[in-house]
């Protein structure tokens, strides 16, 4: 069974640009989560999608947005990039009734210059 897959692995952007990160969940998982791990920090909750709907979002500005597609894959968009957006972005998936047990992808490393 394929795990959670994320693309791209690495992405380099400049300030003010937009970044799009993609995630494919484990087959059968309807919930997708996005977390940010900045250097030296723990994982910070960004967004939760289930059945195509945004269910919850963390304490991040509106320029962080995303969506979930009918096949349950998801993308995270970060607009007007700032230097402090440089981080590892982790996507995870779960069954809706096991929302605490997340299966994570390896992450997308975003570098903003």
Question: Which residues of the chain form contacts with other proteins (CB under 8 A)?
Answer: 4, 31, 33, 35, 40-45, 48, 50, 55-56, 58, 90, 92, 96, 99-107
Measured from the CB atom, is 16 or 61 closer to other proteins?
61
The closest of 60, 61, 67, 62 to 91, measured between CA atoms, is 67
In the complex, minimum distance from the CB of residue 36 to other proteins, in angstroms, rounded to a whole number: 11
Measured from the CB atom, is 79 or 103 closer to other proteins?
103
The answer to whether the CB of 105 falls within 8 A of the CB of 98 is no
Measured from the CB atom, is 16 or 54 closer to other proteins?
54
């Amino acid at each position: 069974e394929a795990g959670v897959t994320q693309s791209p692995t690495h992405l380099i952007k400049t300030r003010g640009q937009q970044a799009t990160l993609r995630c494919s969940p484990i087959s059968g998982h309807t919930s997708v989560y996005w977390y940010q791990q900045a250097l030296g920090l723990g994982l910070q909750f960004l967004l939760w999608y289930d059945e195509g709907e945004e269910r919850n979002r963390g304490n991040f500005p509106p320029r962080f947005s995303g969506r979930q597609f009918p096949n349950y894959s998801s993308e995270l968009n970060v607009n007007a990039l700032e230097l402090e957006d440089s981080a590892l972005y982790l996507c995870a998936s779960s069954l809706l009734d096991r929302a605490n047990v997340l299966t994570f992808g390896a992450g997308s490393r975003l570098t903003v210059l």
